[in-house]
Amino acid sequence: MDFFPANEMQDYQIFGEFGGVNPSITDSATFTFMTTEKMQQCFEEEVEGCFLYSRHLNPMNKFLADQLKTMEGTEDAQVMASGLGAISTTLLQLCQNGDEIISSRTIYGGSYALMKNFFPRLGINTHFVDITDLEMVKSKITKNTKVIYTETISNPLLEIADLKTLRAICDEHNIKLVVDNTFSPLVVSPYKLGAHVVVYSLTKFVNGLNDCVAGAVCGTKEFVSSMRSVIDGAAMLLGPTMDPLRAASIFKNTRTLHIRMKQHSHNAMFIAENLEKAGIKVFYPGLKSHSQHDLITSMMNKEFGYSGVLTIDCKTKENANKLMMLMQDAKVGLFAVSLGYVKTLFSSPGSSTSSEIPEDVQKEMGMTPGLVRFSMGIDNDPNIALTRIKNCLKQINML
């Protein structure tokens, strides 16, 4: 299967009202109708090209959603106010009181906290598993299981979920496979590999400029329409609506996503290879030493590399903390959570992005206190960052 998502996205063109190369922003919450029949029809069913109210759809939000559905090869998409807005509404659309989720335990801390701490209030319980252990996944399936939830590339140890095999497991039990592909847009196309629903935090690579939080849900027409249903749709009724002004700015940034992803990946590969060569323990799916290097290679669209996130082990929390401060002073990048920014960001997962995960579970996951996660930026010459990182590692006696 060859899929060229960047080529598909490049052909998506909507002209502005006066022929603008960018679509016009519809700065309206509500929309006028010329007949009473039409309004009634729009409440009863989705009518192509007909807009009701901006919590449901706004033209600019639809343009961005259409660009993202083109990226994923799905039938439809809906943009959301945040990644967690996309994740929570998707899971609530699929699950109700009494249902169970099987989730990878190495997921974004907020997603973990949502399923671990919040969903039990609604009677939705989650089994957290090592998603690379397929026997373990199967053993947790019950008649109440509705969803298997995973990230394509997980945080912070960059483990890979075998999406094709997970889909086969789902099919045997009528379960939906929901995949968070935030770490690997363009790199992996989960829907093509079997995911029923693909969710994104657009906040990261897809927007890439760190000027907003945003999310998206991509899936079949039937599923995405059900999310928007005025009667019982989670997106419509819980209301994590993106502002159309923001949709316009994200839309424009999708135009450069392929170039950015290539540079993020190029820089991450360069840093990962060279730090590993220098004797540092590095986790990066592009490295031959990564235990699932062959799996991810078989899943990838060829042109975009292995994405921009890598993790190193500095052995102790003290080392990790010192290193991050030194690197910020040396202009390697910025000490901040999040990823997929044009500049390099680094943070220590145990005390930040994965801090919602209890320490004993962190240990089980193979997380050690000295981890430092890098989201490599799109620097023109990664050798400059490499020299600076090595200097900082020398100052803490790691090199």
Contacts with ligand PLP by CB under 6 A lie at: 82-84, 108, 110-111, 151, 155, 180, 182-183, 201, 203-204, 213, 215
As beta bridge partners, residue 281 has: 313
Taking the least distance from each CB to ligand PLP, the nearer of 23 and 333 is: 333
Least Å distance, CB 395 to ligand PLP, is 30
Least Å distance, CB 381 to ligand PLP, is 27
CB of 158 within 8 A of CB of 310? yes
Taking the least distance from each CB to ligand PLP, the nearer of 203 and 362 is: 203
Q: Which residues, other chains included, contact 351 with Cβ-Cβ below 8 Å and sequence gap of 6+?
A: 317
Q: Point out the residue whose Cβ comes nearest to ligand PLP.
A: 83
Q: Which residues, other chains included, contact 120 with Cβ-Cβ below 8 Å and sequence gap of 6+?
A: none
Taking the least distance from each CB to ligand PLP, the nearer of 63 and 183 is: 183
Instruction: Tell which phi-psi region holds residue 19, choosing left (phi > 0), alpha (psi between -120 and 50) or beta.
Output: left
Taking the least distance from each CB to ligand PLP, the nearer of 26 and 375 is: 375
Segment holding 66, helix H or strand E: helix 59-72
Angle at 368 between CA 367 and CA 370, to 5 degrees: 130
Least Å distance, CB 282 to ligand PLP, is 20
Taking the least distance from each CB to ligand PLP, the nearer of 321 and 353 is: 353
Tell me the CA distances in angstroms from 112 to 70, 106, 120, 206, 375, one per residue in order.
Answer: 29, 8, 12, 22, 21
Least Å distance, CB 159 to ligand PLP, is 13
Taking the least distance from each CB to ligand PLP, the nearer of 148 and 392 is: 148
Least Å distance, CB 322 to ligand PLP, is 25
CB of 227 within 8 A of CB of 93? yes
Least Å distance, CB 107 to ligand PLP, is 7
